[in-house]
Amino acid sequence: MITRNEGFANLTAGYLFPEVARRRREYAASHPEAKIISLGIGNTTEPLPKFIAKAMADYSIGLSTPEGYSGYGDEQGNTELRKKIAEVWYKGLADESEVFISDGAKCDIARIQTLFGRNVKIAVQDPAYPVYVDGSVIVGAAGKNNGTGYEGVTYMPCTPENDFFPDLSVVEPDSLIYFCSPNNPTGAVATKEQLKKLVDFANKNGCIIIFDGAYREFIRDPELPKTIFEIEGARTCAIEINSFSKPAGFTGVRLGWSIVPNDLKFADGTSVNRDWNRVMTTLFNGASNVVQAGGLACLEPEGLKAMKEVIDYYLENAALIKKTFEGENFKKAGAEVYFTGNSPYIWVKFPGKKSWGVFDTLLDKCNVVTTPGSGFGPAGESFIRISAFGHHADVQEACSRLSKLAL
Ligand code: PL4
């Protein structure tokens, strides 16, 4: 018989978000009267801007005509969209040959692991979006969990004590470093100086950075970098993975992209861009043509304006959530609130408590779903993450319940 990929046996817990959903379902089944509000999974809730939806509808109708029909496109993506992303979002910091269109950032994070195989050392921010580590375990780049974390993974704690920027000296040379800014789950955004430190470290130590910028459009502080390619030296050490999910509400529509600079090389001098092109053409068949038409509309002035308005809407929710967790009742319980104003996530510490315990309390007493910080890594223990994605009315109701909670 075929032996099981031992990576699956090495995974010590189910994937975080289905686990949150399972606990919510279980609670709902035993409390049918509960009106549960989810501030857990970072899933967009507001309708697509009309201008963007119409572009997809028009393209779709066009497919029913001989002039408008198209079949398979280039696996790397529609040339016009690649060009537009390079122009609008990278302003000359990347060119179209370095842009690869995909069906979303999570899928690229998974595929990118085929580029490096199982013999690469991994370093991750701790806490981090769980796909980086779980995906590494599945492909065998990370091994068994020894109780403090997976073998082959260097955890880089990002805590209030280090202002959520890690001590890079713990990272071994020649590592693949996953770095997310604005960060999920802490909401921290690395400054230009911090990213410069990261880039210099990577260049000096033969590392490659996988920079996840999925929340870039939440950055409101003009001093903060929106892409790692704003940093001198990044073109020789970084890959960026990104997504239309959060800015455009494309979580269900599915569209993302990666930037792999032509200057980035493996140890033997071969081009990473060339191998990524091979991965994308071999293991991917191109993003949906209808969806790519939507992506093009996002990058028109009207689309950019509409996306900003939706993000402003979520940021208003975030400000209310922050204020709620800074309320007297939470203060008395010792809660510490971290929110930068540049991300959809509020990160709250409950010193001395377990994340899943706080999760259960908020679900049971307020019928509000959050995400336990421990699910993002060992340094997330005692924290919970609250997502600002939600209708205003739901967030207001959740905050009203939370503000009355006696802890
Ligand atoms: C729940 C840092 C959310 N089922 O939509 P994509 O694939 O383009 O982007 C996914 C993604 C990539 N990078 C980061 C992210 O935070 C996310 C989405 N994360 C969350 O609540 O943390 C949705 C999670 C989804 C999942 O497993 O990704």
pLDDT tens string 144-203: 999 889 999 999 999 999 999 999 999 999 999 999 999 999 999 999 999 999 999 999
pLDDT tens across 271-321, in order? 999 999 999 999 999 999 999 999 999 999 999 999 999 999 999 999 999
Distance (Å, whole) CA 40 – CA 381: 16
Name the pLDDT band for 13 (thresholds 50, 70, 90).
confident
Give 43 Cα–ligand 1 centroid separation in angstroms: 8
Segments of 187-340 assigned E as strands: 208-212, 238-243, 256-259, 336-338
Other CB atoms within 10 Å distance of the CB of residue 223 = 8
Q: Report the chain's mean pLDDT, rounded to a whole number.
A: 97
Phi/psi of residue 239, nearest 5 degrees: -120, 140
Strands 238-243 and 208-212: parallel
Pick the atom of ligand 1 nearest to 371's CA: 21
pLDDT digits (tens, 9 = 90+) for 330-386: 999 999 999 999 999 999 999 999 999 999 999 999 999 999 999 999 999 999 999
Pocket test for ligand 1, best of 103, 184, 211 (most atoms within 8 A of CB): 184
- Integer Cα distance of 272 and 276 in angstroms: 6
Phi and psi (nearest 5°) for 121? -85, 145
Q: Which two tokens stand for residue 79?
A: 């040339």
Cα 347 to ligand 1 centre (Å): 17
pTM > 0.95: yes
CA dist 163 and 285 (Å) reads 41
Among 3-17, 33-47, 130-144, 194-208, the minimum mean pLDDT is found in 3-17
Q: Give the pairing type, strands 345-349 and 383-387.
A: antiparallel
Residue 15: predicted pLDDT: 87
Å from CA of 110 to ligand 1 middle: 12
Q: What's the rounded mean pLDDT across residues 54-65? A: 98
Report in angstroms the alpha-carbon separations of 13 from 10, 22, 24, 97, 149.
Answer: 9, 13, 17, 39, 12
Compute the half-sphere exposure of residue 387: CA atoms within 13 Å on the CB side of its CA.
Answer: 22
Distance (angstroms) between ligand 1 centre and the Cα of 161 equals 26
CA of 42 to the centre of ligand 1 (A): 7
Nearest ligand 1 atom to alpha carbon 129: 2
How many whole angstroms from 337 Cα to the centroid of ligand 1? 22
253 Cα–ligand 1 center, Å: 13
With cut-offs at 50, 70 and 90, classify the pLDDT of residue 26. very high
Report which ligand 1 atom has the smallest distance to the Cα of 183.
2
Which residues' Cβ are closer than 6 Å to ligand 1? Answer: 17, 41-42, 104-106, 129, 180, 184, 212, 214, 243, 245, 251, 256
Q: What is the mean pLDDT of residues 392-406?
A: 97
Task: Tell which atom from ligand 1 comes closest to the C-alpha of 17.
Answer: 1
Q: How far apart are CA 150 and CA 168, in angstroms?
A: 18
Asked if pLDDT for residue 234 goes beyond 90, the answer is: yes
> Which residues does 79 contact at the CB level (< 8 Å), separation at least 6?
96
Query: Can you give the residue ranges of every domain in the chain?
Result: 6-48+303-403, 51-300
Residue 21 banded pLDDT, cuts 50, 70, 90? very high
Q: Under a CB-based contact definition with an 8 Å cutoff, are residues 171 and 205 in contact?
A: yes
* Helices within 123-185 (DSSP H only): 131-139
Q: Which protein residue has the closest C-alpha to ligand 1 atom 4?
A: 17
Q: Which fold has domain 51-300?
A: Aspartate Aminotransferase; domain 2 (3.40.640)
Place 270 in a pLDDT band, splitting at 50, 70 and 90: very high
Give me the CATH topology for the region 6-48+303-403. Aspartate Aminotransferase, domain 1 (3.90.1150)
User: What φ, ψ does residue 325 adopt, rounded to 5°?
Assistant: -75, -15
Give the residue from 337, 336, 308 showing the smallest Cα distance to 320.
Answer: 337
Share of the chain above pLDDT 90, in %: 98
Distance 127 CA to ligand 1 centre (A): 14
Q: How far is the CA of 331 from the centre of ligand 1 (A)?
A: 30
Q: Looking at residue 139, what is its pLDDT?
A: 96
Beta-strand runs (E) in 86-199: 99-102, 121-126, 153-157, 175-180
Residues in the chain: 407
Q: Which of 19, 39, 129, 387 to mutate to test the pocket of ligand 1 (most atoms within 8 A of CB)?
A: 129
Query: What b-and-e string marks burial along 270-292, b requiring 16 or more CB atoms within 10 Å of the CB?
Result: eebbeebbebbeeebebbbbbbb
Distance CA 89, CA 154 (A): 31
Least trusted range by pLDDT, from 10-19, 85-94, 135-144: 10-19
Nearest residue (by CA) to ligand 1, atom 22, is 42
- Residues pairing with 145 in the sheet: 150
> For 80-136, how does the pLDDT look when each residue is reduced to its tens digit (9 = 90+)?
999 999 999 999 999 999 999 999 999 999 999 999 999 999 999 999 999 999 999
* Residue nearest to ligand 1 atom 9, measured at CA: 105
User: Which pLDDT value is given to residue 407?
Assistant: 84
How far apart are the C-alpha atoms of 152 and 121, rounded to whole Å? 6
Q: Whose CA is nearest to atom 21 of ligand 1?
A: 42
* The two three-digit tokens of residue 326, written as one number: 């800074």
CB 94 within 8 A of CB 258: no
